[in-house]
Structure 1
Amino acid sequence: MSKDKTVNAASVAATPASQSSEAFACTQAAHDAVGFIEIDEVLTLRRMAIRAPAPKGTVLFLHGFPETLTVWNGIATTLAHDYDVHAFDWPGYGQSSRPASERFSYAPRAYAQVLKAYIDRAGIDRSKLVIYATDIGALPVLLLALDEPTIARQIIVGDFAPFDRPQYMWENLQNLKAEPTASPTRAYMNKTSDEILQNVHRRGLSPDEQFDLPADVQQDMTRSWSLDGMTSADAFAHYYANFTGDQHYLEANLTWLKTPVKVIWGEKDIYITREMGIEFAAKIGAKVDILSGIGHFPHLHNPKQMVEEIRTSFR
């Protein structure tokens, strides 16, 4: 694997002449900031780290299924004028390690420990850190916050399943939670990987609301679906095999959640409906923003709004 590297935002701050050149500059800046960081003898993560010339704080982005760190490219390079920005591929995704499940469980609690190790090894100042976590990234950061309330100055979460409420979840997600439906669902997801990668971000949206992924994001997700004998669907299935117990643990220990949390949710999320987010926010006494006309991937659907959410969290 390549040597770890970071890039300073000042080196890519030139104003482009057109929208197409701006998109190219963002993609190139994010590409230049990508390297690898070793977590332990089993796990090495591909990560992106962009350094601001005079950072006002640090932002760490945590992706969901079936994403990779490339989903943050545009948002990261925009924010990196004012903030240090980090993102990494979860184990089982992108170009990060994919050990056998006997060596790494892929459980939300295991991901929580990966997150802790990353923050420590990257030398991030927790007092100036905002974490935005979506989908599979959100439960791990909340589990970590139960044990370490100072893990961040604020956590922003959305479009995930904090509680065991199958009625708020898409049928295939319900089916992954236990046998006998889990194994056939995993096999079906692997069989239909092309369709998932092409349409996962479009489902539930009207034709006028649907959008295309940036080419570099689509290519990286496709290229990274299968690596070292494991697919992203396999990692997702391992995560879900441990999911219910970790959901129960979070709900039973919510009184220990002291880190400031904000909840945002796509109004049209069909995978995990907004009722889940509303209930979670009410239980922890947090603010919840339901984003009109947005589906499961707010950061892809309306990245400008996500940039403003992050900036607001530092005010």
Structure 2
Amino acid sequence: MSRPVIDDAIDVFKIDDDVTLRRMVLHNANPKGIVLFLHGFPETLYAWQDIATALAGDFEVHAFDWPGYGLSSRPAIDRFSYAPRDYARLLDRYIEKAGIDTSKLTIYATDIGALPALLLAVEKTDIARTIIVGDFAPFNRPQFMYPSLQSLKAGPAMDQVRASLNSNRDEILENTFTRGLPKEAHFDVAREFKDDMSRGWMQGAMTMADAFAHYYSHFTRDQDHFEAQLTRLTTPVKVVWGEQDLYINKQMGVELAERLHAELTVLAGVGHFPHLQAPALTIAEVRAAFR
């Protein structure tokens, strides 16, 4: 498939009076299953464009921009808190309103998208046949997090970090994806994707960095809730982590996999964004989930 197919597959999907999502759906007349991709910061649904086209020959593929990102809604925080818990509820509504058969669904979630998927699975164990997660912080273990992320979680530095993120948009979009990797491991991010992130950075009065900061202001509470409810999670989970992840140390993934008795794959030489750095490995993980 060519890129125009991706553009043709993008539409606007109303969840409720407060939230409308920009989404992408690649249909298949006889799919082997359904895949839903959930992006992280500072991404948009365009992070999945190459992977989606590679999988569309066999699967129905969904992705959307989280509220606060890309071209999805950015309601005021008194209407939507941008907390992982709010994202989990939104994910549930999307799956229901989109008519997705959860018995055929694999969710692939990274960064800020992963905790909401697992929070939902705690409450609805049949929300997917498989959930693949990685490169995020399931538990309140700030020692395994990048210093600026630690500062976003609590304390007087929160506002400073948020202001810094907002004032450094161009640097973030240029360098976030390869930061911490040796030069020989650097990879290109598609211009179309960069342009989409830049275009979607601010909508109305809220930036993607603002949405990210709101998420983090509730992060510890929702991490603690997830850890307390961990034994209720029975949906099959696979953990995939970049060995060289600068932002969230792989030890976070090791602990999650051990406590869930889940399979863990640590990707040698790969950083925080495996789906961008090594998309073939992401495609292979998705295909394996349906075998």
TM-score under structure 1 normalisation?
0.92
Aligned letter for 1:213?
V
Residue of structure 2 aligned with 1:34, choices 3, 6, 10: 10
> Residues 251-298 of structure 1: CA distance to partner in whole angstroms, max 9, x if unpaired?
111100010000000000010010100011101110110001100000
Q: How does 1:192-231 map to 2 (within 5 A)?
A: 192-231=168-207
> Residues 114-146 of structure 1: CA distance to partner in whole angstroms, max 9, x if unpaired?
100000011000000000000000000000000
Q: How does 1:83-232 map to 2 (within 5 A)?
A: 83-232=59-208
Give secondary structure in 1 for the equivalent of 2:184: coil
Shift of 1:102: 1.2
Shift of 1:179: 2.6
Shift of 1:234: 0.1
> Residues 3-48 of structure 1: CA distance to partner in whole angstroms, max 9, x if unpaired?
xxxxxxxxx4xxxxxxxxxxxx1x2111110001000000000000
Is the CA contact 1:37–1:46 (under 8 Å) kept in the aligned structure 2?
yes
Is the CA contact 1:106–1:235 (under 8 Å) kept in the aligned structure 2?
yes
The match for 2:278 is 302
Residue of structure 1 aligned with 2:220, choices 211, 234, 244: 244
RMSD across aligned positions (CA): 0.6
Aligned letter for 2:140?
D
Separation (CA, whole Å) in 2 of partners of 1:63 and 1:285: 25
The match for 1:276 is 252
Is the CA contact 1:169–1:272 (under 8 Å) kept in the aligned structure 2?
yes
The match for 2:52 is 76
The match for 2:19 is 43
Note the residue ranges of structure 2 that are not aligned, 5 or more in a row: none
Residue of structure 1 aligned with 2:210, choices 217, 234, 245: 234
TM-score under structure 2 normalisation?
0.99
Note the residue ranges of structure 1 that are not aligned, 5 or more in a row: 1-11, 13-24
Residue of structure 2 aligned with 1:286, choices 262, 265, 268: 262
Separation (CA, whole Å) in 2 of partners of 1:65 and 1:152: 23
Separation (CA, whole Å) in 1 of partners of 2:228 and 2:34: 30
Aligned residues between the structures: 291
Separation (CA, whole Å) in 2 of partners of 1:54 and 1:74: 21
Is the CA contact 1:53–1:82 (under 8 Å) kept in the aligned structure 2?
no
Separation (CA, whole Å) in 2 of partners of 1:168 and 1:179: 17
Shift of 1:53: 2.7
Structure of higher CA gyration radius: 1
